[in-house]
């Protein structure tokens, strides 16, 4: 299977409120969420899906109500305008790396396989993991590891990478992992997952792209339109939670004399929606998933 969609029924239940409406799947992948959305739409309904990964285009759905756009979802607003769409009834995004991208060893996403340092979701872009590891200044590399991997010893780790690359260029995932072979075996999985996450986020500018998506989503959602976001780590979820709460990513919104601020979304549920044990057992990727659903006010 290309990708097993997470929280499939719950996400589409929360998304589709008008069978005749216009909806967006920002992360098409294998088309699992899109197919479920289409099953809920009438003949008048319309679904636009985005995916920057060329591999995902092979999963295109033959349905007159469906349009697949080969773009990063950071271009959401302008891409929809090109199709004459100025308002939509719901937007869904299943963030992070697809199962297919993890399973394709040569993409370099997985800590389990030796592969070129790549990690690009869009293979046409210039910046890849090899460039970050071999060319970033030590301070910039440390910031990536700290901010995106939440690694406390980021400066030490960056210093070790810079020292080794002066001797020999670091080209593969195994060569990168070999630099830290001294990490105790019981800590290695988590440690390398943090390293790879940090580099991948930097390669694909995932947090900046997410911010752009959230801001544009609010602009093009119709009143009472739904925004459904599935995230897989705290950095993403924190941005989503704050934006749904007050329309901001940091700081506090202006308040009136009574201490109230203008809300942008009404949360469907106060707490994040998580997969049940049965789904996690069937799909291990669901283990860290958190879904938040907001209705535009």
Q: Is 91 helix (H, G, I), strand (E, B) or coil?
A: strand
Q: Determine the 3-state secondary structure of 227 from DSSP.
A: strand
CA–CA dist 134, 136 (Å, integer):
6
Count other C-beta atoms under 10 Å from residue 17's C-beta.
15
Instruction: Assess contact for 76 and 56: CB atoms under 8 A.
Output: no
Task: For the chain, give the mean pLDDT.
Answer: 94
Residue 69 above 60 pLDDT?
Answer: yes
If 0-12 CB within 10 Å is exposed, 13-18 middle and 19+ buried, where does residue 263 land?
middle
Kind and range of the H or E element at 294?
Answer: strand 290-296
Give, for 290, the enclosing helix (H) or strand (E). Answer: strand 290-296
Q: What is the mean pLDDT of residues 223-239?
A: 97
* Over residues 233-247, mean pLDDT: 95
- Span 168-178, average pLDDT: 97
d(CA 114, CA 107): 10
Question: Residue 164 has what pLDDT?
Answer: 97
pLDDT band at 1 (very low <50, low <70, confident <90, very high): low
- What does the pLDDT read at residue 162? 98
pLDDT on residue 96:
77
- Residue 2 pLDDT > 70, yes or no? no
Distance CA(96)–CA(168), nearest Å, equals 31
Residue recorded with tokens 């210039």: 126
Most confidently predicted of 9-13, 50-54, 121-125 = 9-13
Q: Going by DSSP bridges, is the β-strand pair 22-25/221-231 parallel, antiparallel, or unpaired? A: unpaired
Looking at residue 224, what is its pLDDT?
98
Q: Ranked by mean pLDDT, which of 4-8, 151-155, 256-260 comes out on top?
A: 151-155
Q: Which string of DSSP letters, residue by residue, matches 14-47? A: HH-S-TTSEEEES--TTSHHHHHHHHH--TT-EE
Instruction: Report whether pLDDT(238) > 90.
Output: yes
Q: Whole-angstrom Cα distance, residue 8 to residue 29? A: 13
Q: Are 145 and 151 in contact (CB under 8 A)?
A: yes
The pLDDT-based confidence of 251 (bands split at 50, 70, 90) is confident
For the segment 80-127, what is each residue's pLDDT rounded down to a tens digit?
A: 999 999 999 999 999 977 767 776 878 888 898 899 999 999 889 999
Q: Is the pLDDT of residue 234 over 60?
A: yes
% pLDDT > 70, the chain: 98
Mapped onto helix, strand or coil, the DSSP state of residue 230 is strand
Q: How many percent of the chain have pLDDT more than 90?
A: 85
202's tokens = 């930097």
Q: What is the DSSP letter of 116?
A: B
Mean pLDDT for the stretch of residues 135-160: 98
Q: Does the pLDDT value for residue 3 go beyond 80?
A: no
When mean pLDDT is compared across 103-107, 182-186, 211-215, the lowest value belongs to 103-107
| Residue 275 clears pLDDT 90, i.e. is over it | yes
Task: List the structure tokens of 104.
Answer: 């394709």
Reduce the DSSP state of residue 222 to 3 states and report it. strand
Say whether pLDDT at 274 is over 80. yes
């Amino acid at each position: 299977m290309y990708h097993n969609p997470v929280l499939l029924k719950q996400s589409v239940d929360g998304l589709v409120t008008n069978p005749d409406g216009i909806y967006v799947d920002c992360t098409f992948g294998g088309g699992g969420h899109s197919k479920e959305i289409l099953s809920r739409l009438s003949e008048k309904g319309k679904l636009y899906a985005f995916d920057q990964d060329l591999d995902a285009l092979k999963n295109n759905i033959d349905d007159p109500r469906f349009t697949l756009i080969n773009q990063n979802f950071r271009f959401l607003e302008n891409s929809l305008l090109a199709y004459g769409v100025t308002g939509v009834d719901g937007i869904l995004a299943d963030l992070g790396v697809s199962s297919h991208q993890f399973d394709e060893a040569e993409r370099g996403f997985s800590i389990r396989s030796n592969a070129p340092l790549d990690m690009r979701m869009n293979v046409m872009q210039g910046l890849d993991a090899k460039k970050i590891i071999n060319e970033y200044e030590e301070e910039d590399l440390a910031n990536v590891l700290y901010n995106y991997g939440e690694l406390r010893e980021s400066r030490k780790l960056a210093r070790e990478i810079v020292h080794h690359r002066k001797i020999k260029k670091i080209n593969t995932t195994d060569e990168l992992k070999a630099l830290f072979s001294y990490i105790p075996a019981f800590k290695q999985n988590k440690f390398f997952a943090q390293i790879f996450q940090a580099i991948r986020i930097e390669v694909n500018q995932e947090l900046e792209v997410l911010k752009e998506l959230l801001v544009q989503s609010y602009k093009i959602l119709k009143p009472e339109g739904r925004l459904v976001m599935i995230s897989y780590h705290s950095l993403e979820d924190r941005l989503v939670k704050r934006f749904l709460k007050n329309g901001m990513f940091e700081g506090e919104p202006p308040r009136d004399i009574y201490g109230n601020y203008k809300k942008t979304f009404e949360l469907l549920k106060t707490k994040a929606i998580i997969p049940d044990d049965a789904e996690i057992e069937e799909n291990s990727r669901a283990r860290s998933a958190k879904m938040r659903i907001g209705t535009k006010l």
